[in-house]
């Protein structure tokens, strides 16, 4: 059974900087220590973008040092708060695909894991580049990757949700060519689950018949009112990561709010 840990929306900042009074470094460090303690047997720890808050080199370097503390191996893609070339300069061990995008396919005995690069840049024109996009080159790569999966069910990991989630502000900057994406995915029929971030909320459901899960951030979360037009609102709620376990019958998706528990065990 393949076990995957999922972190999204790390929003790393330079030392001494905080977001709404929260330190992204300390919150992610606590999450990494939690994973090392309870899930050191994980097959991968997947990071689905918004690795930094301002895409600056100092933040990438700080994150690089922090991820070196992980016991399980990591797999990384990027989001709208990232800068593709700057990320690859610091994370030189991450091999982009043949076209320079930060995406890859990883095969396990019971599934194929696919990480997609949904960053709509360069040019880095805000707010346009906050929305996600899969260009024809990336769609062709996904088409080939799904076609070559054989009998393995495919799990897709991406930063931008490929459909509306109910949050007005975030939906305005979701994956902008969702119909082309889903038409391609449904053509192959082997995608068992789609995982995303971006919204800073725990959301689950299905879209066009495919189950999906969206995970919260280890730093700050999206306020719950659905109709807020501002996509930059943040609230201080417990940090979280996801746990995905592939089973013989399907898969399980767990949400670990690792800052909530204060005791290692409960005594009945």
Range of the structural domain that residue 31 is part of: 3-256
Its pTM stands at 0.96
- Specify the pLDDT at position 267: 53
User: pLDDT 10s digit of each residue in the chain, 268 long?
Assistant: 999 999 999 999 999 999 999 999 999 999 999 999 999 999 999 999 999 999 999 999 999 999 999 999 999 999 999 999 999 999 999 999 999 999 999 999 999 999 999 999 998 887 788 999 999 999 999 999 999 999 999 999 999 999 999 999 999 999 999 999 999 999 999 999 999 999 999 999 999 999 999 999 999 999 888 887 887 888 899 999 999 999 999 999 999 999 887 666 555 5
Total tally of structural domains belonging to the chain: 1
Residue closest to 98 by CA, chosen among 144, 162, 149, 43 = 144
Q: Long-range contacts: 176-182, Cβ < 8 Å, 24+? A: 176/120, 176/131, 176/132, 176/133, 177/133, 177/134, 180/134, 180/139, 181/134, 181/139, 182/207, 182/208, 182/210
Q: How far is the CA of 33 from the CAs of 5, 66, 67, 97, 259, in angstroms?
A: 13, 10, 11, 30, 12
268 within a domain of the structure (yes/no): no
Q: Check which CATH number belongs to the domain holding 47 and give it.
A: 3.60.21.10
For residue 123 the two structure tokens come to 């040019």
264 within a domain of the structure (yes/no): no
72 within a domain of the structure (yes/no): yes
100 within a domain of the structure (yes/no): yes
151 within a domain of the structure (yes/no): yes
57 within a domain of the structure (yes/no): yes
- Specify the pLDDT at position 229: 80
Contact of 163 with 125, CB cutoff 8 Å:
no
Q: What are phi and psi of 3, to 5 degrees?
A: -115, 130
- Specify the pLDDT at position 65: 98
- Specify the pLDDT at position 128: 83
Positions of E strands within the chain:
3-7, 44-48, 74-77, 104-107, 112-115, 154-157, 191-196, 203-207, 210-214, 241-246, 251-256
- Specify the pLDDT at position 189: 97
54 within a domain of the structure (yes/no): yes
Residue closest to 214 by CA, chosen among 144, 142, 266, 163 = 163
26 within a domain of the structure (yes/no): yes
């Amino acid at each position: 059974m393949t076990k995957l840990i999922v972190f999204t929306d790390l929003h790393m900042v330079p030392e001494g900087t905080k977001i709404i009074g929260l330190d992204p470094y300390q919150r992610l460090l606590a999450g990494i220590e939690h994973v090392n303690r309870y899930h050191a047997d994980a097959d991968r720890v997947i990071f689905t973008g918004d690795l930094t808050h301002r895409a600056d080199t100092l933040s990438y370097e700080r994150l690089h040092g922090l991820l070196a503390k992980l016991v399980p191996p990591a797999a990384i893609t990027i989001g709208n708060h990232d800068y593709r070339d700057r990320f690859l300069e610091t994370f030189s061990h991450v091999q982009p695909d043949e076209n320079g995008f930060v995406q890859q396919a990883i095969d396990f005995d019971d599934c194929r894991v696919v990480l997609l690069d949904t960053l709509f840049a360069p040019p880095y024109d805000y707010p346009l580049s906050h929305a996600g996009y899969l260009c024809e080159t990336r769609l062709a790569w996904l088409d080939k990757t799904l076609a070559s999966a054989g009998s393995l069910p495919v799990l897709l990991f991406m930063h931008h949700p490929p459909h509306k989630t109910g949050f007005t502000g975030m939906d305005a900057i979701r994956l902008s060519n969702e119909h082309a994406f889903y038409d391609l995915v449904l053509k192959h029929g082997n995608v068992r689950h789609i995982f995303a971030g971006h919204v800073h909320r725990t959301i689950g459901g299905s879209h066009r018949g495919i189950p999906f899960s969206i995970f919260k951030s280890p730093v700050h979360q999206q306020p719950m009112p659905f109709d807020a037009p501002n996509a930059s609102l943040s609230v201080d709620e417990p940090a979280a990561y996801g746990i995905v376990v592939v089973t013989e019958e399907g898969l399980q998706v767990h949400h670990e709010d690792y800052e909530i528990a204060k005791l290692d065990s409960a005594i009945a």
